[in-house]
Structure 1
Amino acid sequence: MPYINVQITKGASREQKAELVKDFTESLQRVLGKNPEHTHIVIQEIEEADWGFAGMLTDDWKQQQQ
């Protein structure tokens, strides 16, 4: 039973999440021969203030880039 946990910052649309699930499922089937009916994918959305990048919180980093 494949299990994939995808962690992203908040903001993805339902359509984007559906595309990720579809693509990951198809990749597991194509590359590893896994049955799509046994594949589980969890998408966790994390606030940018709760995600660190380049030694900074992501929301601070993005503000600095502007």
Structure 2
Amino acid sequence: MPYINLQITKGATREQKAQIVREFTETLVSILGKKPEHTHIVIEEIDDENWGFSGVLTDEFRKQ
């Protein structure tokens, strides 16, 4: 049973999330031969102020 936990910053549309789920599932089917009905994908959206990289929080980085 493949399980993908994808963490992204907030802002993706429902349509974008649906495309992510569809394409990740297709990738697991085509590369690993997994069954779509056994594939689970969780998308967690993180507030920009709770995500940091390059020594700064994302909300501060986006202000630059």
Q: Give TM class, smaller chain.
A: over 0.9
Partner-residue secondary structure (3-state), 1:37: helix
The amino acid across from 2:21 in the alignment is V
Partner-residue secondary structure (3-state), 2:28: helix
Q: Please show how residues 1-66 of structure 1 align to structure 2 within 5 Å.
A: 1-64=1-64
**d(CA) in 2 for partners of 1:8, 1:18:** 14
Structure 1 runs of 4+ with >6 Å offset: none
Q: How many residues end up aligned between the 2 structures?
A: 64
Per-residue CA shift, 1:4-58, capped at 9, x if unaligned? Answer: 0000000000000000000000000000000000000000000000000111000
TM-score normalised by the chain length of structure 2: 0.98
- Aligned-residue CA RMSD in angstroms? 0.4
**d(CA) in 2 for partners of 1:54, 1:43:** 23
Partner-residue secondary structure (3-state), 1:34: coil
Q: Percent identity?
A: 66
